[in-house]
């Protein structure tokens, strides 16, 4: 009798390994890409995924056996393809991308067998302290599994099983995961204006084609982009497809879920880091089974196992929050386009101020360009005026110029609301000693400590280190010699309060006194007109609708425009445009006053004139001349480690090893913008290449030539968007 050899396969494990490992599988296994298995690795059992054919270099007798999970669940093949693509593009070990797609091993356990225990009718004849503790835990009536009961009661599982045998605990089925409701595409009838109708028709046609197509949905704040892409979502749902909507920040999801529910009759599934483990498991399973039809999520939702994805929407596509800067460095907007291409479905990028990359893709015809020209309903765009701070001077220690003060007074007198914007948390960005000039720095980073006066703390905005303001200068010992330099939102609020003592004022920044909840409360109070003036950082710029807000003042428009970063101007424009868009969103027209020392800068000119496209055209020319993205390619290599000399030495070694290649330039190593971060020294190398260069292949060849010490971490950032 001939023995059939066991099937074998390459199995990818969610670990930082170079690739898939060969395993054999039990006879009769239906071997297919995506099959979830348990695979032995050293002494451990590890969740893994059948990835492809075995390499076949290891003999059968030495091969370990991987066993399919109960019920033989399979990860969608297109998700596997996406994992490979992202790994290839970001130069990451594929297992680390797979880890992002698995996240939650419990999600693959069959749901029906989740037996748990509750108090039973019997009282055990023999009672011990351990048994009593278990029964005390169970007294709350919640169903729990044996290990959980044992752990909570600090008893052994045997004690729990003894109670089960004695009838003091009885088996019950854990409540099934609550089912997701099915969104109803026809729940609310919608009236669209002509622009909206045209855009919606174009998207609906793409969905009918059921193939990849990218569109930029381009419209000013308040022009009704959401209503348009909801029409596309409705069409995808009608055709039995799943829909993924990406939002840049969790803070925006609460409002958004409500909006979705108004349109579709129920909330979508959510996916972000604030969910409990159980919620994540529930959502993950429901996405994989197809039960969850629509998902609203943060960037990590791109790695969910959709079985029938039919539409991807990236709202506020220009937002920098889409770039993950730690761990696996990737841009969720770009990867969303890739996922859609692999799934063969349309992707919609929505923004009032698109990234230059997307703008160029749209104006060159690579993406469909769907424009919404007007504000929805009666609202008109606000009037925007520059205040030239070189001519209109403010007193030392004052940040509100006379024209700004006059406008605030008029707004308050008219019973309307105003907002002041400054993208700087805390009281003052710099604290220095008047006697010796010593600047208060973080002990672990090359950044200034920012005074937060309400909390009486000095805080590092890079690493979160904080300390009480010392009574004397650590450098010269002078007593009470510290002065605050420059404005933060707290300081602006202080000045405002002395000028308008009667006005009700609130501060909103991501760290105002008691965290995000307080910020949400400040925003709600503003919406309910319990606040007259809201003073805030960029968190007030996004997505909020304040109908009675008619005036916006920008304290320092030049902030962030001068740090030599390729995208600094684009970002400044996007942020200020968005801030300005808060004014006059209902019947009353808005006024925006922008304080600047560079009124002739194209960012300021574009804001004042409202000619957005002129700004984009200037940026496009500038980037094209500089061979900068999207007309050239960039990649950064960041080296970091505790041993500063070793990091610098490795940087020099790496620079020397760079293979000469046509169309490739290497800059650096130079100290990174934060050359000290959390105690780690950081050096950067920048690769600039022509568009046609295969940057990944170049980097792979380059990095393979250097064997750095394991005390130096090397991270590759393809298409960097920030330069810190």
List contacts with Zn ion (CB under 5 A).
433, 435-436, 438, 442, 444-445, 460, 462-463, 465, 473, 475-476, 478
List the 449-452 sheet strands across, edge first: 449-452, 457-460, 466-468
Between 177 and 673, CB nearer to Zn ion: 673
Q: How many CB atoms lie within 10 A of CB 632?
A: 18
CB of 466 to Zn ion, least distance (A): 9
Question: For residue 678, how far is the Cα from the chain centroid?
Answer: 22
Residues with Cβ < 8 Å from 331, sequence gap 6 or more?
Answer: 322, 323, 324, 719, 721
Q: Which strand (E) or helix (H) includes residue 430?
A: strand 430-433
Between 438 and 627, CB nearer to Zn ion: 438
CB of 453 to Zn ion, least distance (A): 19
Q: Which residues sit opposite 641 in a β-bridge?
A: 681
Distance CA 557, CA 540 (A): 15
List the 664-677 sheet strands across, edge first: 664-677, 680-690, 632-641, 713-718
CB of 639 to Zn ion, least distance (A): 19
Between 139 and 436, CB nearer to Zn ion: 436
Between 310 and 641, CB nearer to Zn ion: 641
Identify the DSSP state of 567.
Answer: T
CB of 515 to Zn ion, least distance (A): 19
Q: Which residues sit opposite 331 in a β-bridge?
A: 323
CB of 472 to Zn ion, least distance (A): 8
- Written as six digits, the tokens of 690 are 């022509």
Distance CA 221, CA 374 (A): 9
What does the CA dihedral 667, 670, 673, 674 come to, rounded to 10 degrees?
A: 140
The residue behind tokens 């940040």 is 399
First to last CA, the chain: 67
Between 676 and 695, CB nearer to Zn ion: 676
CB of 470 to Zn ion, least distance (A): 10
What does the CA dihedral 378, 382, 383, 389 come to, rounded to 10 degrees?
A: 170
Between 200 and 442, CB nearer to Zn ion: 442
Inter-residue contact 25 to 66 (CB < 8 Å): yes
Alpha-carbon torsion 137, 139, 141, 143, what sign?
positive
Inter-residue contact 389 to 501 (CB < 8 Å): no
Distance CA 411, CA 252 (A): 28
CB of 643 to Zn ion, least distance (A): 19
CB of 674 to Zn ion, least distance (A): 8
The beta-strand segments (E) located in 240-308 are 242-246, 269-271, 294-297
CB of 458 to Zn ion, least distance (A): 11
Between 161 and 713, CB nearer to Zn ion: 713
Q: Which strand (E) or helix (H) includes residue 334?
A: helix 332-343
Between 473 and 507, CB nearer to Zn ion: 473
Between 480 and 645, CB nearer to Zn ion: 480
Between 212 and 465, CB nearer to Zn ion: 465
Closest CA to 357 of 540, 574, 73: 574
Closest CA to 89 of 688, 699, 658: 699
CB of 488 to Zn ion, least distance (A): 17
CB of 715 to Zn ion, least distance (A): 19
Between 183 and 641, CB nearer to Zn ion: 641
Inter-residue contact 559 to 487 (CB < 8 Å): no
């Amino acid at each position: 009798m001939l023995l059939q050899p066991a099937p074998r396969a390459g199995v990818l494990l969610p670990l930082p390994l170079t690739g898939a490992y060969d395993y054999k599988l039990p006879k009769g296994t239906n071997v297919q890409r995506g099959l979830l298995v348990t695979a032995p690795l050293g002494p451990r059992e590890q969740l893994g995924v059948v990835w492809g054919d075995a390499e076949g270099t290891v003999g059968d007798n030495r091969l370990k056996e991987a066993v399919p999970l109960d019920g033989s669940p399979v990860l969608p093949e297109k998700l596997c393809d996406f994992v490979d693509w992202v790994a290839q593009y970001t130069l990451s070990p594929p297992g680390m991308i797979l880890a992002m797609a698995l996240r939650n091993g419990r999600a693959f356990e069959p749901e029906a067998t989740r037996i748990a225990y509750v108090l039973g009718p019997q009282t055990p004849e023999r009672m011990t302290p351990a048994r009593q503790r278990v029964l005390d835990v169970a007294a709350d009536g919640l169903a729990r599994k044996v290990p959980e009961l044992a752990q909570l009661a600090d008893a052994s599982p045997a004690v729990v099983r003894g109670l089960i045998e004695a009838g003091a605990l009885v088996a019950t089925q854990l409540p099934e995961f609550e089912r997701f409701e099915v969104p109803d595409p026809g729940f609310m009838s919608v009236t669209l204006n002509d622009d909206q109708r045209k855009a919606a028709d174009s998207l609906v046609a793409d969905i009918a084609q059921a193939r990849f197509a990218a569109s930029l949905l381009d419209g000013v704040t308040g022009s009704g982009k959401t209503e348009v892409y909801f029409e596309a979502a409705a069409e995808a749902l009608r055709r039995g497809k799943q829909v993924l909507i990406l939002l840049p920040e969790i803070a925006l999801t609460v409002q958004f879920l409500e909006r979705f529910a108004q349109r579709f009759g129920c909330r979508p599934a959510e996916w972000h880091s604030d969910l409990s483990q159980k919620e994540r498991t529930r959502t993950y399973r429901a996405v994989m089974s197809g039960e969850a039809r629509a998902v609203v999520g943060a960037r990590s939702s791109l790695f969910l196992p959709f079985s029938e994805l039919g539409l991807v929407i990236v709202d506020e596509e220009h937002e920098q929050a889409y770039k993950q800067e730690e761990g696996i460095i990737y841009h969720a907007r770009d990867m969303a386009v890739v996922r859609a291409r692999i799934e063969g479905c349309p992707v919609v990028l929505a923004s009032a101020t698109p990234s230059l990359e997307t703008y160029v893709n749209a104006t060159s015809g690579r993406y469909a360009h769907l424009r919404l020209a007007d504000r929805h309903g009666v609202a008109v765009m606000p009037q925007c005026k520059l205040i030239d701070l070189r001519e209109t001077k403010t007193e030392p220690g004052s940040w509100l110029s006379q024209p700004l003060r006059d406008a605030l007074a008029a707004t308050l007198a008219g019973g309307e609301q105003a907002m002041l914007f400054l993208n700087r948390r805390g009281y003052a960005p710099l604290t220095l000693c008047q006697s010796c000039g010593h600047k208060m720095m973080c002990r672990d980073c090359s950044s200034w400590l920012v005074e937060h006066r309400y909390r009486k703390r000095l805080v590092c905005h890079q690493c979160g280190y904080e300390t009480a303001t010392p009574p004397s200068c650590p450098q010269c010992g002078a007593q009470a010699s510290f002065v605050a330099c420059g404005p933060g939102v707290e300081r602006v609020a202080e000045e405002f309060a002395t000028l308008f003592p009667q006005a009700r004022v609130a501060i909103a920044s991501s760290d105002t006194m008691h965290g995000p909840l307080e910020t949400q409360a400040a925003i709600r109070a503003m919406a309910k007109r319990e606040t007259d003036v809201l003073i805030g950082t960029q968190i007030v710029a996004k997505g909020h609708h304040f109908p009675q807000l008619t005036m916006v003042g920008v304290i320092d428009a030049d902030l962030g425009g001068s740090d030599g970063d390729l995208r600094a101007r684009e970002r400044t424009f996007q942020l200020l445009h968005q801030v300005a868009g808060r004014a006059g969103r209902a019947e009353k027209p808005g006024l925006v006053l922008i304080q600047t020392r560079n009124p002739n800068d194209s960012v300021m000119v574009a804001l004042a004139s409202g000619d957005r496209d002129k700004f984009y055209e200037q940026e496009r020319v500038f980037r094209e001349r500089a061979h900068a993205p999207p007309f050239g390619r960039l990649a950064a290599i960041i080296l970091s480690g505790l041993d500063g000399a070793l990091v610098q030495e490795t940087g020099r070694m790496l620079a020397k090893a760079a293979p000469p290649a046509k169309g490739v330039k290497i800059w650096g190593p130079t100290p990174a913008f934060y050359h000290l971060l959390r105690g780690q020294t950081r050096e950067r190398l920048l690769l600039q290449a022509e568009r046609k260069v295969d940057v990944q292949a170049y980097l792979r060849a380059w990095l393979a030539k250097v064997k750095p010490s394991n005390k130096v971490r090397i991270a590759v950032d393809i298409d960097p968007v920030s330069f810190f």
